[in-house]
Amino acid sequence: MMCGYVGPMSRIIRAALPALMCLIVLAACGQATGQLQRYGATGHVAVGEAADIRPETRFDGSEADRTGWLIGPNFALLVNGYTVTDTVEAAQAAVFGYGEAAPLHASVGTEFFAAFVDPASVVGVADLSASLIVGDTETPLERLPTGGQTIAAVVPVDAEVTLAVTDEDRTQRLSLRDGDRTDDVAGFYIGKTESVDPDDYDGHGTVIAEAGNGYLPASREVGITMAVETAQRSPWSAEHGWAEDGNVWISVPITGMSTDAVWGFDTADDSHEPKLYWELREAELFALAPADGDPVSANGKQTFVVDADAAYTGSADTEFTPGEIRLWFQVPEDTVTATLRITPSGRLNAEWSDVTGSGSWDSEPESGEITLTF
């Protein structure tokens, strides 16, 4: 009989039973508590939600430094820092672009990366395209993130992570590891986009009106006023497109351009006082001189006229036609201070009730110099 025999095989089976039972118990415990290991897929890229979570590594982002900023014609994005981790807990799931709440773990050699977009960021409605570049792999983003969102990915440990944004056919890139830019349009990051509110212009001159033999010359003081509104500065203009490389556009709104050239004259049939009709040309009237630079004329060819067709108001505020305009100047991209020069001479005509004569300046209106600071 073999009942009392304990052979080698029997000893092996008996020795394996405790280990086998332990594995069964551990598996059962794992099933009971749902502790299944889940890993972030390499190549995962998503726009997430930062909620109240802040980045572990922060960028300066100041106006002087501009680290973390990426600015285009239709967006201004500030990435204020980033976070890396090897485990995404339930509270962080939305930050890293995961909808599920259970923890996720990084595979060997990878990490979870999330860059945080500051609430100060502004994204317009234009057709923008954005992508995330990790090493040699570029993945399109579903959209450019807005303030309070994140740009998240599963990346190789310490891999370079770059955001690329294309706006109006120009692509700029931002390193999400250090906030430095490449291929950037420098004019977006120098100075401010709007000037301090500048002074207005009010000038006066004296005109001599002549009608030839039989008429005495008439002398009149003539005034001109205009409001100079807040100026804008940008390498891009929706009206004119991109400025030349190394330049920016500065636009200056002019409103309420009016004169008293026709005010107070007697227009009765037996009167021999003239009306004065005035014509000014944009390129001659306005120029912009960058600090330490040569002045440039306004970009347009508008003519401003007060003539027989003007809508006279019977006051000192008869408007030119047109009475307002937005001036455009193209200047070097490092221009943050410039002087707007206003030189209102132009051509004058004098018209009596029964004869048309000419007007000439005895003293032209004083030139105005108005500082624009960005």
Q: What is the pLDDT of residue 43?
A: 93
- Structure-token pair, residue 237: 């203009």
Nearest Cα to 337, choosing from 259, 250, 240? Answer: 250
Peptide bond into 295 cis (omega under 30): no
Question: How many whole angstroms separate alpha carbon 225 and alpha carbon 260?
Answer: 9
What pLDDT sits at residue 1? 36
Residue 11's pLDDT is 35
Q: Is the pLDDT of residue 131 over 60?
A: yes
What's the confidence (pLDDT) of residue 21? 32
Q: Which residues pair with 29 in a beta bridge?
A: none
Instruction: Give the per-residue pLDDT at 371.
Output: 98
pLDDT for 316 equals 62
Contact (Cβ atoms closer than 8 angstroms) between residue 354 and residue 197? no
The average pLDDT across 332-361 equals 91
**Residue 190 to residue 337: CA distance in whole angstroms:** 11
pLDDT above 90 for 68? yes
Poorest-confidence range of 28-32, 147-151, 205-209, 287-291?
28-32
Distances from the Cα of 320 to the Cα of 6, 159, 275, 277, angstroms: 118, 62, 14, 10
Res 26 pLDDT > 60: no
Residue 353 amino acid letter: S
Give the model's pLDDT for residue 262: 76
pLDDT, residue 22, reads 30
Predicted local distance difference test score (pLDDT) of residue 62: 82
Residue 246 has pLDDT above 50, yes or no: yes
pLDDT at 8 over 60: no
Residues 6+ apart with CB under 8 A from 29: none
pLDDT above 70: percentage of residues in the chain: 86
What's the pLDDT band for 272 if we cut at 50, 70, 90? low
- CA dist 75 to 129, 138, 223, 230, Å? 11, 21, 43, 21
pLDDT over threshold 60, residue 33 = no
Residue 17 has pLDDT above 80, yes or no: no
- pLDDT for position 152: 98
Residue 19 clears pLDDT 50, i.e. is over it: no
User: Where are the domains positioned within the chain?
Assistant: 45-184, 201-373
Q: Which two tokens stand for residue 14?
A: 């008996």
The answer to whether 233 and 195 have CB atoms below 8 angstroms apart is: yes
**Distances 130 to 39, 144, 177 between C-alpha atoms, Å:** 26, 6, 17
Which of the given ranges, 64-78, 214-228, 314-328, has the highest pLDDT on average? 64-78
Asked if domains 45-184 and 201-373 share a fold, the reply is: yes
Q: Which residue has the higher pLDDT, 214 or 206?
A: 206
At residue 61 the predicted structure's pLDDT band, cuts being 50, 70 and 90, is confident
What is the model's pLDDT at position 355?
A: 82
In this structure, of 5-9, 30-34, 56-60, 152-156, the range with the lowest mean pLDDT score is 5-9
Q: What letter does residue 171 receive in the DSSP assignment?
A: E
Span 226-254, average pLDDT: 97
Q: What percent of the chain has pLDDT over 90?
A: 70
Q: What is the CATH number of domain 45-184?
A: 2.60.40
pLDDT value at 80 more than 70: yes
* Residue of 46 and 64 predicted with greater confidence: 46
Q: Is the pLDDT of residue 292 over 60?
A: yes
- CATH architecture observed for domain 201-373: Sandwich (2.60)
pLDDT at 200: 98
**How far is 227 from 340, CA to CA, in rounded Å?**
12
Mean pLDDT, the chain, as a whole number?
Answer: 87
3-class DSSP state of 28: helix
pLDDT of 16 reads 35
Predicted confidence band of residue 167 (pLDDT cuts 50, 70, 90): very high
Q: Looking at the predicted structure, is the pLDDT value of residue 18 above 70?
A: no
Tell the burial category of 66 from Cβ atoms under 10 Å away from its Cβ (0-12, 13-18, 19+).
buried
